[in-house]
Amino acid sequence: MSSFSFIHAADLHLGSPFQGLALKDAAVAAVFVEASRKAFSTLVGLAIEKHVDFFVIAGDVYDGDWKDNKIGLFFNREMARLERAGIPVYLLRGNHDAASVITKTITLPANVHEFPTGKPGSVKLDALQVALHGQGFAERSANDNLAISYPPPVAGWFNIGILHTSLTGREPHAPYAPCSIDDLRSRGYDYWALGHVHDYEVVAKDPLVVFPGNLQGRNIRERGAKGAVLVTVEDGSIEHERLIVDEARFAQVDVDVGPDDDQAAILRHVEQAVQLIADDMEGRMTALRVRLSGITPLQGAIAANRQQWRDEVEAACHRVHEDIWLEKLELRLEPPPTSQVVAEGALDLQQLLAENAGDADIAAEANRLVDEIAVRLPGGLGATAMPLDDSVEALIGEARQLLLSRGQGAA
């Protein structure tokens, strides 16, 4: 068996609009939009620099149908760079760029091979004794187990399976092309190049099954370093390493607030936490969520003056580093236990909220209201998994904070 190397990437999501960021700060959103393209250009440059033998993309090249041909022209340009370097590309369609989703086309260079969507297809690289097997999505939803229909391996060759799948489930990703590790093993391949899950994960080592994650974080749930995987095969022995190419990041810090902390002390705690993020930025813009937690007599004042506190926390971020932008201030604060005796017939708000924590009817009503709001959001925002950019549980928590602050003000 010959020696060779290839890059395994997935979930490029070129054209992702970052609409949630755009509603908060258009300039920051523009940086993240450009970051997605820069990340892919960087990866293509690394492929050329490292003289890889081929390039695999396991689905979701695009984020959805194109508004115009700009994103298609960008992808064509990068594929042409690889063609001039003699590097073939093997890709398949995922749920975001299924055949039924993408209506526009740009003719791609001859080095790009797309796997069929109706059934699995195979490509043989005779010089390397490598066989690649894959199937793309015809429709946005793929509920069938595609893996079990993949063809048998080519005997004596290195066999690679390429699949866009959630396996047996990976929250918060919706189920697509569900299958088990045993289903993958049953094909007898040497490496499975997976896509769809946006976190890097080595799912199994025998055979090696890898999610490379996406190239660029797109929201607060996609935090940390992002990139692709470089796979090197020598005499049948497989090594792999991550190639980190993201240009901007999302991050979160949790700040504990004590009962004796005044505003100045809280902001000092924020700066100390943010400094740890700044030390690891490596020149990347960072969209940061700050979560304040703890018991403090300032809970009511902070909740009642949320925008002022948000501005103070953002200013604290900028005192640490100019390229840290506050994505959101999240409040998880509680007032100190009250020793006051509630007058007979008066409403004990803290007790009432405590008794109704986790109430299924409240959650159901909150979900209904979110759905009602989602259909009115501009630009397709309501179609996302979290149209209000947070879970229903977190939104209920914020409402609870606001009620407590108003209750304290009325006391």
**Per-residue pLDDT at 411:** 47
Give 307-341 pLDDT, tens digit per residue.
Answer: 999 999 999 999 999 999 999 999 999 999 864 54
In this structure, the strands spanning 248-257 and 4-9 are unpaired
Between 263 and 346, the higher pLDDT residue? 263
Second CATH level (architecture) for the domain 3-244: 4-Layer Sandwich (3.60)
Distance CA 180, CA 57 (A): 21
**Per-residue pLDDT at 171:** 63
State the average pLDDT over residues 241-267: 96
Distance CA 36, CA 28 (A): 13
- CATH classification code of 248-337: 3.50.80
Q: Tell me whether the omega of the peptide bond preceding residue 207 falls within 30 degrees of 0, making it cis.
A: yes
Give 19-56 pLDDT, tens digit per residue.
Answer: 677 667 788 888 888 998 999 999 999 999 999 999 99
In this structure, the strands spanning 4-9 and 227-234 are antiparallel
Give the sign of the dihedral formed by CA 397, CA 401, CA 407, CA 411.
positive
Tokens standing for 398? Answer: 């914020």
pLDDT at 97 over 60: yes
Using 50, 70 and 90 to split pLDDT, how confident is the model at 410? Answer: very low
**Per-residue pLDDT at 392:** 64
pLDDT at 259 over 90: yes
| Domain spans in the chain, listed from the N-terminal domain onward | 3-244, 248-337, 345-410
The CA distances from residue 375 to 24, 370, 381, in Å, are: 19, 9, 9
pLDDT at 154 over 50: yes
pLDDT at 98 over 60: yes
pLDDT at 374 over 60: no
Q: Tell me whether the omega of the peptide bond preceding residue 172 falls within 30 degrees of 0, making it cis.
A: yes
Distance CA 195, CA 24 (A): 30
Give 120-137 pLDDT, tens digit per residue.
Answer: 999 999 999 999 999 998
Using 50, 70 and 90 to split pLDDT, how confident is the model at 296? Answer: very high
Helix %, strand %, coil % of the chain (to 5): 35, 25, 45
State the average pLDDT over residues 270-280: 96
